Amino acid sequence: MINRQADFMVHFTKHQGDLRAVIGSMVFDRHAREDILQEVALVLWKKFDEYDGIHSFGAWARGIAVRKVLQSFDRTRRTPFPMDPETIEAVLTAYDETETEADEPTERQEALRHCLEHLPEKSRQLLDLRYEQELKLHEVAGRTGSTLDAVHKALSRIRTRLHDCVQKELSARKEVGP
């Protein structure tokens, strides 16, 4: 039992970031995202005996996460579900195909942290407002005295820059080796 639990935790911890990403792509409310993630974790544990260890744990877990999101929308009925089944299917396939890129979550996080440290102060402040304080875009615009469009464009540029920086950082680390 203990080994099984430890085995589960290894898998879950490794794919936790991906699960957050899948859930986050469909659910914009932070608390709802966290609730769903917890439910997913419990379902995965309860069904862990059904996992054969041969297939990708990530693909299996993401499938369950999507179902939980669907159930959550079905339950609350506050808003229509943002994605149709075919789009979900396409997105899940894309996650499966790009899973290897996210295989080393710790390294990726470290690379992102490194890149964040090297951002200009103004960009960092914008990210703080958007992600740390969790302000909506129009609230960020209000705080910074900019337009909505300008904030969106600035954030897009920062995300693009961060993405490229993380890729470079990961490549550099691979070249240096462990």
Partner 1 sequence: MNTEDPVQARIQAFLDDLLSEQERAALFLELRESPVAAREFARLTRLESALRQALHPEPALSLSDLGEELATAPAQGRWWHWPNQQILDHLWGPASAVLLHAALILLILRWALPRPNSVSEQITPVSLGRQLPPLEPFESAFPDMDPRTLMIPDLAYPMEVNSYPDEAVANAIGIPLPDAWPVSTLKDAAPDSKLKVPAVFLARIGSARTERHAQAAPGWGVRAEQAARSGLDWMRSTQASDGSWSEADGGSLRATALAAAAFLSFAPAPGDPQGRPALQAIRFLETQQRKDGRFDLDPGRHAMATLAFAEAWGLWRLPEAGARLDAATAALLLAQDRDGYWESAEARSVSALGWQAHALALILQLHPDREEVRLAAAHLTGLLKTQFDPAKGLFLFPKNVSPLDRNRTTAMAVSALQALGEGSSAECQQGRQFLLRQSASTLASEFTKAAPDSLYFLFDVFARRPGADSAGWLAEAARTVLAEQSAAGAWTDSENRLASLNTSSVILALSSHVRYPLDISAHRTLRSSLAQSPLRSHAKFCADSASPSS
Of the pair 114, 174, the CB lying nearest partner 1 is at 114
Residue 160 to residues 115, 164, 165, Cα–Cα distance (Å): 12, 6, 9
Of the pair 172, 177, the CB lying nearest partner 1 is at 172
Q: Which residues within the stretch 18-57 sit at the binding site for partner 1 (CB under 8 A)?
A: 18, 20-22, 24-25, 28, 30, 33-34, 37-38, 41-43, 45-47, 49-50, 52, 54-55
Instruction: With both helix axes pointing from N to C terminus, report the angle between 30-46 and 2-24 in degrees, rounded to the nearest 10.
Output: 150
Contact string (CB under 8 A) for partner 1, positions 68-97, x = contact: --xx---x-x----xxxxxxxxxxxxxx-x
| 9 counts as binding partner 1 under rule CB under 8 A | yes
Per the document, the length of the chain is 178
**Side chain identity at 63, as an amino acid letter?**
G
| 113 counts as binding partner 1 under rule CB under 8 A | yes
* CA–CA gap between residue 141 and residue 130 (Å, rounded): 10
| 100 counts as binding partner 1 under rule CB under 8 A | no
Of the pair 67, 122, the CB lying nearest partner 1 is at 67
- How many residues bind partner 1, per CB under 8 A? 83
From the number of C-beta atoms within 10 Å of its C-beta (0-12, 13-18, 19+), residue 36 rates as buried
